Amino acid sequence: MSELEHALTVLQNQGIKKTTQRLNILDYLIHHRIHPSADIIAKSLKMNLTTVYNTLEILISSKLVYVLDNNQDGRKHYDYFGHPHYHVLCRNCGKIVDGSNIDLHSFPNLAHEASNFLIEQTSLEFIGLCEDCQKLLGLTENN
């Protein structure tokens, strides 16, 4: 099953119709793991910005798309989230890197045990300085 097929099954299971716009944005995000802002998505897909925002809202509610909104540039960045992963953000240049070497599947249970909340979503972010910015700021240990 392709990633897009997986995503469409998730939509279908939630009773969300697969429109051309939803399909196109999902396909774009699956193949561009660059955490784009809405206007980059609109430009790349030659879609109206309002349509992009409206479509993203639905995809976010389906949990297939994740919003990063604490980035340095003050803009919202969107990410395909069909498989949970965490993010590492550079506080200097705003670079965002995906991390998959932490198994997030046990986190909702742990959070439920700690709070008795019904957990609906997991997000984990680390904030620091990327390699380039460490060099720029003279923070590298070896050189």
Annotated binding residues for Zn(2+), as ranges?
Answer: 90, 93, 130, 133
Distance of CA 23 to the CA centre of its chain: 17
Going by the DSSP 8-state scheme, the letter that residue 1 receives in this structure is -
| String of contacts with Zn ion for each residue 14-53, x by CB under 5 A | ----------------------------------------
Sheet with strand 96-99: strands edge to edge: 96-99, 86-90, 125-128
Q: Which is nearer to Zn ion, 48 or 139 (CB)?
A: 139
Give least dist CB 98 to Zn ion, A: 4
Among 92, 104, 107, 123, binds Zn ion (CB under 5 A): 92
Q: Is 98 in the site for Zn ion (CB under 5 A)?
A: yes
Cα 129 from Cα 102, distance rounded (Å): 20
In the chain, what are the helix, strand and coil shares in percent, each to the nearest 5?
A: 45, 15, 40
Q: Is 133 in the site for Zn ion (CB under 5 A)?
A: yes
Instruction: Render 105-127 in DSSP notation, one character per residue.
Output: GGHHHHHHHHH---------EEE
Instruction: Render 60-88 in DSSP notation, one character per residue.
Output: HHTTSEEEE---TTS--EEEE-SS--EEE
85 neighbors 104 (Cβ within 8 angstroms): yes
Residues 102-131 that bind Zn ion (CB under 5 A): 130
Among 64, 89, 90, 122, binds Zn ion (CB under 5 A): 90
Among 34, 49, 93, 110, binds Zn ion (CB under 5 A): 93
Q: Which region among 16-24, 37-45, 84-92, 105-113 touches Zn ion (by CB under 5 A)?
A: 84-92
Q: How many residues at the interface with Zn ion, by CB under 5 A?
A: 8
* Chain positions contacting Zn ion, by CB under 5 A: 79, 90, 92-93, 95, 98, 130, 133
